[in-house]
Structure 1
Amino acid sequence: MILHLSTFQLEGGAAVAASRIHQAQRNQGLDAQMLVYRAQKPAAGVTAYADTPWKNKLFWARFSAERLSFLPHEKDRSARFAFSPAAVGLPLHQHPLVQQASVINLHWINFGFLSLPGLQRLFSMGKPIVWTLHDMWASTGGCHYSRGCEHYLSHCRACPYLAKPELYDLSFQVFEQKRALFENAPVAFVAPSQWLGQITQSAALTKDLPTLVIPYPIDTKLFTPRHKPQLRQKLGLPADKKLVLFVGANTQDPRKGFSFFKEAVQKLHAADEELEILVFGKAQPGAYDGLSVTVHNLGKLSDSTHIAEAYAAADVMAVPSLEDNLPNTVLEAMASGTPVVGFRTGGIPDMIDHQINGFVADYRSATSLAEGIDWVLKNTDTMKLAEQARQKVLDTYTEAIVARKYQELYNSLL
């Protein structure tokens, strides 16, 4: 039995990706189970550790304790959830599913789910461990994305996320704990993108451990092209406008690059009044205030079909992330036949083939981002562009392809 361990079931991109990997394996006949701290909705093979009201209250207590352990060290609020010391966790090695598992597949396990000592106890059980990486955390002294810092290549220290970056600061201490953890560890890393794979293979902590690149899967039956005019009528969207999609996650997080998107669409709108913006997802109040462009906000969508429809209704999607592993949003849009424009960073160039199924913009350039959006909107063969975006997904990211690669990895470890 394969057991997936993830703090969350569906909260955040890493959790969504972990759930999709688990479900893809089950759909292909693998004996896969998933243990999460809290389950947002019932799903086959998913077990919540917090299965009583009391355990659910303890979830928030552990989450708070883990965050409070970092509070004296954080530089400012922007670092609050960007660095995890993994000081607090659960005794998961005692859980029946962990005891029964043949292979344990770790995912994103922070915020009080697994501590570093808890990971050590799992490793000591002698079971093969696959760790699917959703950010850089396994390779650093605590940060999830390094924001350009390269200390992880030698030894974390003087961390820019910390209030007092010093030679022997918290990042140095966490780095030392991880170095002891990974010594002779029965673990193989899976990086969803070539970018994260290269980081894992060059980082001082993880370079001597095996790393394989296996992308995220996507349900191509759910995320599929749809009849755009009919769909726009259903969603109350204009049929004659050029809709640029932005999926709002955290418009205040500099890593998401919203300021570049804002500048790009305002440049375009000055020359093309038919351009309008389509957004969905949670965002800070007033996030889209000040835009001279009409914004159609569908709000936070929880139903999978409604989400898939929103992707299919757009003409193009912009992903201005400055650091990202393999964004689910890009897969979802391309599977829906909506070309994507994104910066040349992280795993985005893995997915977008420049001017074949989308546009890869120059890093941190709002001008290049605008050029890419304009290129897609003015493409003379929009049907072919949409078909090639979907074909890239069918060739690379289907459940069957991804599940088979995981099965081969599990078999090699067993």
Structure 2
Amino acid sequence: MLERGIPEEKLEVIPNGVNAEEFNVSEKEIESVRKKYGLEEIVVMFAGTVTPRKGVLQLIRAAEILKYGKDALFLIVGNLNLDREYVQKVMEYAKSRGVNVKFTGFVPYDDLKALYSACDIFVLPSFEEGQGVVLLEAMASGKPLIGSKVGGIPMQIRDGWNGFLCEPGNEKQLAEKIRYLIEHQEERERMGKNSRKLAEEEFDWRKIAEKYLEVYDEVAK
């Protein structure tokens, strides 16, 4: 819109929202989903459709750089059918490099909510993104976030506060940020608490509704 000559002061960006209370998952549910999906180690989770623009291959290459073996599991949750050729490429690469990765395919929504809570770190290494709903959901689940500096992701991740931002496609940088969070539990906990705080204070649907009302009131004057 700026390119079309609309003054910046006439624009208002209102983000997507999340019902934070919906992601209050019980310990029993977490234990159940960990058992169902065989999650015993530290879990680094991605959720979304497995396509090139989501940067899943780059995440697997970052996992290869880390060489954590069986001490960390990279959990890829989401649709595997949109680009089968790409999915096959990612799977074969992971297998050939001995990366500890698990592809779940589509999972029921209740399982997805529990998996957010069961994971330790949530990663969205996209090359392009609007505003990732999965980041909001992981945020509401109280998880530290790692994402690319693209689209709306920098609105959701305050670098160093509730997670880290990386350059898209920079596998080494992505690996460094994941390594830091794997090796510093206290930082995972601090950033996770900040994520939940951000979800409640800025991205809860009630807050988003208030922003819409403010804009409508301003327009109506």
Shorter chain as normaliser: what TM range? 0.7 to 0.9
| CA distance in 2 between partners of 1:308 and 1:345 (Å) | 25
- Kept after mapping to 2: 8 A contact 1:225/1:337: no
| CA distance in 2 between partners of 1:243 and 1:282 (Å) | 19
- The structure number with the bigger radius of gyration is 1
| CA distance in 1 between partners of 2:185 and 2:35 (Å) | 27
Going from structure 1 to structure 2, the CA distance change for 1:231 and 1:392 (only over 3 Å counts) comes to: farther
| CA distance in 1 between partners of 2:125 and 2:214 (Å) | 34
Unmatched 5+ stretches in structure 1: 1-199
Partner residue, 2:93: 290
Matching of residue 274 in structure 1 with residue 71 in structure 2: yes
Going from structure 1 to structure 2, the CA distance change for 1:246 and 1:412 (only over 3 Å counts) comes to: same
Root-mean-square deviation over aligned CA pairs: 2.3
Partner residue, 2:38: 237
Structure that is richer in helix per residue: 2
For 1:44-87, what per-residue CA distance to the aligned partner results, in whole angstroms no more than 9, with x for missing partners? xxxxxxxxxxxxxxxxxxxxxxxxxxxxxxxxxxxxxxxxxxxx
| CA distance in 2 between partners of 1:336 and 1:298 (Å) | 20
- How much identity, in percent, do the aligned residues show? 25
Report the alpha carbon displacement of residue 371 of structure 1 after superposing the two structures with TM. Answer: 0.8
Partner residue, 2:141: 336
Partner residue, 1:263: 61
For 1:358-385, what per-residue CA distance to the aligned partner results, in whole angstroms no more than 9, with x for missing partners? 1112343100001111111112413322
- Kept after mapping to 1: 8 A contact 2:24/2:141: yes
- Kept after mapping to 2: 8 A contact 1:226/1:336: no
Question: Quick one: which amino acid aligns to residue 259 of structure 1?
Answer: L
Counterpart of 1:218 (choices 11, 18, 34) is 18
Question: Quick one: which amino acid aligns to residue 362 of structure 1?
Answer: E
- Kept after mapping to 1: 8 A contact 2:55/2:126: yes
* 1:403 aligned counterpart, secondary structure: helix
Question: Quick one: which amino acid aligns to residue 359 of structure 1?
Answer: F
Report the alpha carbon displacement of residue 403 of structure 1 after superposing the two structures with TM. Answer: 0.4
Partner residue, 1:249: 49
Going from structure 1 to structure 2, the CA distance change for 1:250 and 1:273 (only over 3 Å counts) comes to: closer
- Kept after mapping to 1: 8 A contact 2:139/2:192: yes
- Kept after mapping to 2: 8 A contact 1:322/1:345: yes
Question: Quick one: which amino acid aligns to residue 297 of structure 1?
Answer: F
Partner residue, 1:169: none
Q: Report 1:12-411 matches (<5 A).
A: 200-201=1-2, 203-204=3-4, 206-207=6-7, 210-224=10-24, 226-227=26-27, 230-239=31-40, 241-251=41-51, 253=52, 255-268=53-66, 270-284=67-81, 285=84, 286=88, 287-291=90-94, 292-303=98-109, 305-381=110-186, 382-411=188-217
| CA distance in 2 between partners of 1:215 and 1:370 (Å) | 28
| CA distance in 2 between partners of 1:313 and 1:380 (Å) | 15
| CA distance in 1 between partners of 2:177 and 2:4 (Å) | 37
Q: Which has the higher contact order (CA 8 A, sep 6+)?
A: 2
Aligned residues: 209
* 2:135 aligned counterpart, secondary structure: helix
Unmatched 5+ stretches in structure 2: none
